[in-house]
Amino acid sequence: MKESKKDTEFPHKIVERSSCSFHTLADEIANQIGYPITIEDAFHHLISYSRHQGKIDQARVDTIINKKVPDKVINSLWKSGIMKQILEKEEPIIVPAKEKVGLGNRVVISMKYDSRIIGFIWVHINKKMLTPFQLQLLKKSANLVKYELLHYSTKANEEEKRREFFFHLLSGFCQQKENMLIQETNLNISSDQRCTIVIIHFNKEIDSKIQEYISNYIKNIYLPQVISFIFDQDQVIFLMGEKNTKENGKNILLFIQNFIREIYQQLQIKDIIGVFGMSYQSLAYMKDSYEQALKVLELKRKFPIELASVYGYHQLGIYQFIDEIYQNRIRTHYRNEKIQRLKEYDYHHNTDLLSTLEIYLDCDCNSQKASEKIHIHPNTLNYRLKRVIEIGQLDFSNFNEKTTLYIDLKLEKNFYK
């Protein structure tokens, strides 16, 4: 694209108008690039926005009304890894639409001074991409606007610092900047302390009333230490700290159980799930702890009965690998023939031998517990188990076979449709 006289004068217009207002700046940039824009500070508070025409997405509407980008939008960008790219790169970044949080297609560039993020310019594009010349105009705009932002007084409160720090942790962005980040956020973490990520999952988005109650409740928790926490739509994510002792994990478990009980008793909210990852002495591994906690949450929702008493990643046992085992079964076209024989027999004879086998294995092959769980006489259970052994050709004295049966039964029940 050939530059017009208007285009070449663009940087000078920015400089001339910068003394007027940020809104004038936003309008001039939008006019030159051809799309609406917003200018934000380092913590995503709205500095200014350009005029727009026609339909705009909900994220822009909420940003303008609340003078800040919605938390759910920022959280989504962190989780997808896009925010990490925005912070690390000097070039404009393409941000695909995220309909779940009301965000349309964007192009964004970060503005830095002495390697420190001081703000962002977001371009609200449609399905078309910016041309190379428009991208160059955006880079020039960012280079000029950042000097105006240096003079713009915006004091980020502790909540914003905490949120930004937290998503640095969860994304692994802070692995080489751990000490600096601890200093910046004034976290009270001792050298002999182990840290863990805890996730409390609600069955709906956490409103301001619930957030306020939780914030006040947390102030009275001393063991384990609540180092920091954030709200993320339907979750509260905690960074917890404990002294490195043999009791590691026990206090975390008690915290989760007490938290769920408190919320139920005081706010009558049910179906809350609490989970936690492994503990580490380095904050650089909090990304791993977070991903482990997410894995426990995913599996507890998939296996609510089997994992009802499981909260921590270390408690998952064989379930840590259940997805990998399933993928292996799919790749090798494997289905347990013993289970298939019992399944076919149940279908043709209207029996529940496969269900009986699963409960028996769930009860660690304890006949008394299994009969009580099924609500049948022990003699009836023993008869059923005899039929299971005959039809399935099973050997309960073989530990490997029992383990394989248990895993394949769970796959059959929860993965195969």
Domain shared by 364 and 261, yes or no: no
- Percent of the residues in the chain that have a pLDDT greater than 70, as a whole number: 86
Residues spanned by the domain of 73? 5-150
Domain shared by 29 and 146, yes or no: yes
168: left (phi over 0), alpha (psi -120 to 50) or beta: alpha
Tell me: pLDDT of 141 over 80. yes
pLDDT band at residue 25, thresholds of 50, 70 and 90? confident
Domain shared by 9 and 144, yes or no: yes
More reliable by pLDDT, 168 or 326: 326
Mean pLDDT within 10-28:
61
pLDDT band at residue 289, thresholds of 50, 70 and 90? very high
pLDDT in the model for residue 381: 93
pLDDT band at residue 247, thresholds of 50, 70 and 90? low
Q: How many CB atoms lie within 10 A of CB 45?
A: 16
Domain shared by 339 and 211, yes or no: no
Which of 97, 124, 150 is where one domain is finished? Answer: 150
Domain shared by 144 and 170, yes or no: no
Domain shared by 383 and 410, yes or no: yes
pLDDT band at residue 175, thresholds of 50, 70 and 90? low
pLDDT band at residue 219, thresholds of 50, 70 and 90? confident
Q: 């002999």: which residue's tokens?
A: 192
Tell me if 234 is assigned to some domain: yes
For 311-353, what is each residue's pLDDT tens digit? Answer: 999 999 999 999 999 999 999 999 999 999 999 999 999 999 9
pLDDT in the model for residue 246: 67
Tell me if 292 is assigned to some domain: yes
Tell me if 326 is assigned to some domain: no
SS3 241: strand
- Maximum C-alpha span of the chain: 95
Strongest mean pLDDT among 37-51, 138-152, 332-346: 332-346
pLDDT band at residue 185, thresholds of 50, 70 and 90? low
Tell me if 220 is assigned to some domain: yes
**Where do runs of H (alpha helix) occur along 69-154?**
71-80, 82-88, 132-150
Which of 150, 172, 205 is where one domain is finished? Answer: 150
Tell me if 356 is assigned to some domain: yes
Tell me if 187 is assigned to some domain: yes
Tell me if 111 is assigned to some domain: yes
Residues 6+ apart with CB under 8 A from 236: 199, 200, 202, 206, 214, 229, 230
Residues 6+ apart with CB under 8 A from 392: 338, 339, 341, 342, 353, 357
Look at the pTM and tell me if it is higher than 0.85. no
pLDDT band at residue 18, thresholds of 50, 70 and 90? very low
Domain shared by 19 and 140, yes or no: yes
pLDDT in the model for residue 352: 92
For 356-409, what is each residue's pLDDT tens digit? Answer: 999 999 999 999 999 999 999 999 999 999 999 999 999 999 999 999 999 999
Domain shared by 171 and 302, yes or no: yes
Domain shared by 240 and 291, yes or no: yes
Residues 6+ apart with CB under 8 A from 88: none
Q: Which amino acid is at 311?
A: Y
Domains identified in the chain, total number: 3
pLDDT in the model for residue 28: 87
pLDDT band at residue 176, thresholds of 50, 70 and 90? low
Domain shared by 394 and 341, yes or no: yes
Domain shared by 175 and 239, yes or no: yes
Mean pLDDT within 43-66:
85
Domain shared by 293 and 385, yes or no: no
pLDDT in the model for residue 179: 55
Instruction: Calculate the alpha carbon distances from 270 to 132, 213, 257, 262, 266 in Å.
Output: 53, 16, 13, 11, 11
Tell me if 325 is assigned to some domain: no
Which of 109, 129, 150 is where one domain is finished? Answer: 150
The CATH number of residue 102's host domain is 3.30.450.40
Mean pLDDT within 111-122:
87
